[in-house]
Structure formats: structure tokens, C-alpha cells
Amino acid sequence: MAEEEKKLIERAKKDPEVFSELYEKYYSQMFGYILKRVANLEIAQDVTSETFLKALKNLWQFRWRNIPFSSWLYRIANNEIVNYFRKHKAKIVPLEKISEPISNDNPEIEFIEVQEELKKHQDFLRAQRKISKLDTKYQEVIVLRFFEKKQIKEIAEILGKKEGTIKSLLHRGLEKLRKDFFETL
Amino acid sequence: MEEEDLIKRLEKISLPEIETKSHRERLKLALMKKYLPERKKAEVFNIFKKLVPAGAIAVLLFFFIFNNLNSQKYNLAKAKEIALQNNEIKNWLQQGSTIKDIKVVDGKAYVLIEPPEVKKEQRELAPDSLKSGVAFQENLTEEEKFGGALAEVNIKEKEVKNIKKLAPDAIDLIKSKKDKALDIANKSQEVQEKIPREAEVLNINVTTPKFRLSKEGDSVSVIPETETEEKASIIYQFDENRCEGKVDLNKERVEEIKCLNEINTGATKEESER
């Protein structure tokens, strides 16, 4: 499996058309992760676009070190989330307050439908709102662990940190979250 | 509430598994159509980026070499021009001397002036010379005795700072050549046969050596050329007679021995024939 992916990446480096195969393989996973981090459909679309653009531009720099390609994409996504909020200096607009699609490019019907679907997950939205108040380092480990269902080892690979560090970050993040989580949940 | 309870609650949260298909398609199209040419441009740019430093180094190197060569040529020409304006040098050159070599070091040029070629016949032993006990060099005029000179030219100040005449006798090399000539003569069978052991060596003369400039680091020195014809003349005196032995220093052999009595005999015969 890893060998196949390695070959695919090598082909994609030489022939950018092959990149579309990687895109098809990882779009849902990346969009899902970014949405769980930002809890906003439009921002998730923007950050996903930036993530794949960066991946495409920098694919030639990718070196296979027995770490899945998805880990590299997660890392780009994490950077792009930080970059997005740094650039826009905007807080996430709660989904409940978004009544209309912001982007005219999105087909309205689909956007509204997806938005409505997202609104159904109120537990997730409330939890995400609490998590988004934490430092980025805690947000990353908590979302990866509980929303992306990643193992500690995988999180360590994605964030480029030691497993012990991840455990420690997770523990401290949960500790901070615990204090006010159940009061409003 | 314990951490474990929080973990359980987080794990139970129903997560949205949604995506916008239209965005997926639009992004894919955008990446493939819009960004692929950019990526290709980036690849070309990357190749260019790699080539630029190499190209820049090559251009700089070329410029440096070209500039250096040009500057050297300019300095040599300038040094020659300045030297030619000096009266003493001008005088030597009018009498047949030539500018043999120029070396430039640290803004200073060293110009080597070579004396005119001494005519062969002037080098030949004249009977009078043998009588007086001197060899061919003593037959030469003051001008002909000029052994060359080294002029130091300051290119910036456009003037000849110093002129040093190369006096052959003052050069250690001459002494070593004299020693060598005597050594060759002493070993020669012809000398041993014709010249008695008790004969006194009146004089040893060697041909004026040719010189060239040698640049070593920041200094310039005058050194002899290795491939010039080197000859010596030794005057012996014994029993009211004088002889001259001509030595080829390159071939390390005695070429000829002429004695005064032989010359006088020759002259008497010629007179009686007349």
C-alpha cells in the first residue's frame, strides 16, 4: 500500500496530471479535517483549496520518509488554518448565524443543503467552539485524536513531534477543555 | 468531571461527514487548469534558479580574467611608454639596445633593457689584446660594455624611479662561470700539452650573459637565460709568452689555444712573403 502510494507520488512529481489521483484520494479526508477544525463551510473550502494548491506546488520537495502522504497533507492543512486566521484576523462565524452562502461561486442549493446538514451536528459545533478557544497546539491534537480518530503515533507523525509530547499535549489540552466543557455542553 | 468522562463524551460526538461536491470539482479543475501551468513555470524557474548562480560565477570569472588581462596589457604598454620617455633609456635604445622584458608588480613595472648584440668579430682575440693580456671584452667601447639595465617604473606617477645597470662583473654568476672555465681548461689535454703548469693566469673573461626578468610573488629579479651561448677566454703567461685559451662553457670544452709566439711567427712569414 505504502509502496503504491510512493510510486504514485513519484509519478505525480514527474507528471502533474497524476496529482489529480492523489487529490481524489485525499480531498474528502482533508476537507473533513479542516471543517472539523474551523466549523465553517466557506472557510473550510478556502483552506482546503490553499492546502491542495500548496501540496501541488511543493510536491517536488516531498521526500518519502516512511510517513504517509496524508501526514504531509495534514501538516500543510494545519499551517494553512493558522495562516488563514492570521491573514483574516477574523473569528470563526458561528454556523448558525450564516443564513446565506458568502461565495457566489458556490452553487447555492448545495451549499445551503450542506450547511443545513452541518447544523444538525449541534454537539460537534458546541464542542468545536470550545476547542477553538484553546491554543492551536491543543486544538490540533484534540481534533486529530477525537474527531479524526487518529492514534498517538499517527498524530506524532503528522505534527512531527514525539509520542510523549503528543500525550502530554493531549492531557493538558483536555485538562483545559474539561474546566468549562460540561458547563455549557 | 474526570478526564475520562470528557474523553467518552468527545468520542461519542456525532461528526459531520459532509463535503461539497461542487467545490471538489471546481477546485480540481482550478488546480489542473490554472495551477499546472504555474507549476510548470515554477519548475522552469527552479531550473533557472539553479543555473543563475553558475552563470553568474561564469560571467564574473570571465569579467575578472578579461579585466585582468586587459589591465596587464595596459600596464605593460604604459610602463614601456614611460620608460621610452627617459633620456638615459632613450640613449641606450638609440645605440641598439632593446627592451627585453617588462614585469608589473603592485603598481610598479620593471623594464629590462638588453644591450645590443656584440659582433662576433669583436669577440675574436686580437693580437694586441693578447700582448696586453686582456681578452675580447676589453676590446669593446664603453657603450659596448653596457651589460643591460633594470628600470623601475612607477605607473601611477608616470615616471622612471630608478635605473640599475647590470654590471656583469658584479654578478656572482660571472665568478662562477670564470671558475667553471678555468676548471674546464685545467682538465683539457690540449691546455696541459701547450700551457706549462707554472703558467700564470693573467685574466679570465666570459661573454656577457643574457638576462630575463623573473616574477616570484611580489618581487621581480633578474636571472640569466639558460639557453645563451656562453664562452670564456683565459689568458696565460709563461716564459715571456702569452696564450689565450677559448672555452665553450656550454659544451664544456676548450675550443682553441693561441699563443703570442705563433701569432708573431705568422706575421713574420707574411712579411717575408711580401
Dump pLDDT digits (tens) for B94-139. 888 888 888 888 778 888 888 776 544 444 444 454 555 554 444 4
A181 touches chain B (CB under 8 A): yes
The partner residue sitting opposite B3, judged by closest CB among A41, A114, A178, is: A178
**What percent of chain B is predicted at pLDDT more than 70?**
76
Residue B274, Cα to own-chain centre: how many angstroms?
56
Within a domain: B22: no
Residues of B in contact with A147 (CB under 8 A): 13, 15
pLDDT at A99 over 50: no
Q: Quick one: A21 and A77 in the same domain?
A: yes
Within a domain: A9: yes
- Amino acid letter at A42? E
Per 3-state DSSP, what percentage of chain B is helix, strand, and coil (rounded to 5)? 50, 25, 25
Supply the pLDDT for residue A45: 92
Within a domain: B40: no
Q: Quick one: A85 and A139 in the same domain?
A: no
Within a domain: A111: no
Supply the pLDDT for residue B141: 54
Could you give phi then psi for residue A132, rounded to 5 degrees? -65, -15
Contact indicator for B147, B171 with CB cutoff of 8 Å = no
Within a domain: A100: no
Q: Quick one: A39 and A84 in the same domain?
A: yes
The predicted model scores a pTM of 0.48
Within a domain: A103: no
Give the DSSP H or E segment for A12: helix A2-14
Q: What is the rounded distance in angstroms from the CA atom of residue B49 to the CA atom of residue B52?
A: 5
> Please, which residues bridge with residue B235 across strands?
B203, B244
**Looking at the predicted complex, does its ipTM rise above 0.85?**
no
Q: Quick one: A81 and A147 in the same domain?
A: no
Within a domain: A71: yes
How close, in Å, is residue A118 to chain B by CA atoms?
Answer: 6
Q: What is the CATH number of the domain that holds A161?
A: 1.10.10.10
Q: Which three cell numbers stand for residue B274?
A: 711580401
| A29-47 confidence digits (pLDDT tens) | 999 999 999 999 999 999 9
Q: Quick one: A86 and A126 in the same domain?
A: no
The count of structural domains within chain B is: 1
Within a domain: A109: no
Within a domain: A178: yes
> Please, which residues bridge with residue B58 across strands?
none
Within a domain: B195: yes
Residues of A in contact with B32 (CB under 8 A): 17, 20
Mean pLDDT of B13-32: 88
Within a domain: A142: yes
Supply the pLDDT for residue A48: 95
Q: What is the rounded distance in angstroms from the CA atom of residue B61 to the CA atom of residue A163?
A: 52
pLDDT at A80 over 60: yes
Eight-class DSSP state of B134: -
The count of structural domains within chain A is: 2
Chain-chain contact of A123 with B14 (C-beta, under 8 angstroms): yes
Q: Quick one: A88 and A134 in the same domain?
A: no
Within a domain: B183: yes
Within a domain: B28: no
How close, in Å, is residue B4 to chain A by CA atoms?
Answer: 10
Q: What is the rounded distance in angstroms from the CA atom of residue B144 to the CA atom of residue B138?
A: 10
Note down the domain range covering A183.
121-185
3-state DSSP call for residue A151? coil
Contact indicator for A117, B18 with CB cutoff of 8 Å = yes
